[in-house]
Amino acid sequence: MTEHAIVVEGLRKRFGKVAALDGVDLEVPRGEVFGLLGPNGAGKTTTVRILATILRPDEGRAAVLGYDVVRDAAAVRRRIGLAGQSAAVDENLTGGENLRMTGVLGQRPIAEVKQRASDLLERFDLTAAGDRPLRTYSGGMRRRLDVAAALMARPPVLFLDEPTTGLDISSREELWDMIRELVAEGTTVLLTTQYLEEADRLASRIAVVDGGKVIANDTPQRLKAQLGSTVIQMDVRGDGRAEQAAQALSDLRDGRVEREGQTLRITSDRGALVLIEVLGDLSSKGLEPDTLTVREPSIDDVFLTLTGRHAEEVTPDRGADSRPRRWRR
């Protein structure tokens, strides 16, 4: 038995001219949520599809619970569940029928399948809808059923590919609770997401991926410590005034200042205090911001800090072609 549930070494995958994965290394400890964070086209979905034996890598190797995803694909398939944007359910079947089909095709005995389908419908709050065709389901119900289907064979390793994209806030919170319960019961979860908050709330470790590479791999606490918990963003318009403002703030004690054109971005762990200090320093130099926003760090801020560019400048790979871009400055 390996100590890690998932091991990925030097994984590369090209689609035509685009390198979707350009040498990815990962180690996912057992019994934890591991977050794969990145924009569309970063390589998250490609990684999950290789791990779920749907795609073959061009180079490198990957193993799930010690089984190689290419050579021992059949053994891997008996140990994983897959849900999210790349998995799906049958529109014409009812919720219960979908679960039954996934259980039978997951090679579980029929008695176990029936019991488990009714348990999971209850657990995911779908008992009342269990006899209705999927066509009548809301987006949130569909997503819950998709996750339930992935759990039919009680997989020790679960892949959740952007499971909450497009869900409303309460459905998202519900799904997060379920993921926490799963992990408490011993499941290893590999979660991909575009939302820093989601990775932060669920994962014990986060790998930030960009352009097919892992550009950071750390605990959420340490990743955020690099950033600060608050971002103050302001525009100072006028000839050279933003530069003067950056100068005025250069010896700010608890915050870090970056300037891009006439926009200043200050990241800090002590937001309120720093805000007072910033405004004081500026007004003492006769400067004032034209716009001012105080917010939590976004994925874009993580990117700006890690890569020096905005997330939306990332070239999309094939995995992103059918989905809308979700981040805007």
Partner 1 sequence: MSTPVIAARDSTDRDQRIPFGPLRDSFELTRRDLIAYLRTPQLLIFSTVQPVIFVLLFRYTFGGAVKLPGFHYGYVDYLMPGIFVQTVTFGSINTAIGMATDLKSGLTERFRALPMSRWAVLVGRTSADLLRNIFVVILMLVVGYIVGWRLHSDLLSLVGAMLLVLLFGYVLSWLFATVGLAVRDPESAQAASFPVIAPLVFASGAFVPVGGMPDWLRAFANHQPVSLTASAVRALLVGGPATSDVWNAVGWDLGILVVFAPLAVWLYRRST
Return residues touching partner 1 (CB under 8 A). Answer: 49, 52-55, 65, 74-75, 77-80, 82, 85-93, 97, 101-102, 104-109, 116, 119-120, 122-125, 133, 149, 151, 154-156, 178, 181-182, 185-188
Q: Return the sign of the alpha-carbon dihedral for residues 192, 198, 202, 203.
A: positive
Beta carbon nearer to partner 1, 149 or 227? 149
CA distance 11 to 171: 34
What type of residue is 12?
R
Beta carbon nearer to partner 1, 125 or 260? 125
The nearest distance, CB 152 to partner 1, in angstroms, is: 9
Beta carbon nearer to partner 1, 122 or 288? 122
The nearest distance, CB 26 to partner 1, in angstroms, is: 19
The nearest distance, CB 65 to partner 1, in angstroms, is: 7
Taking residue 159's Cβ as centre, other Cβ atoms within 10 Å add up to 27
Beta carbon nearer to partner 1, 24 or 282? 24
Degrees (nearest 5) of the Cα angle 253, 254, 259? Answer: 85
CA distance 96 to 115: 11
Q: Return the sign of the alpha-carbon dihedral for residues 278, 279, 283, 284.
A: negative
The nearest distance, CB 193 to partner 1, in angstroms, is: 18
Given strand 291-295, what is the order of strands in its sheet? 255-260, 263-268, 230-235, 291-295
The nearest distance, CB 135 to partner 1, in angstroms, is: 9
Beta carbon nearer to partner 1, 65 or 311? 65
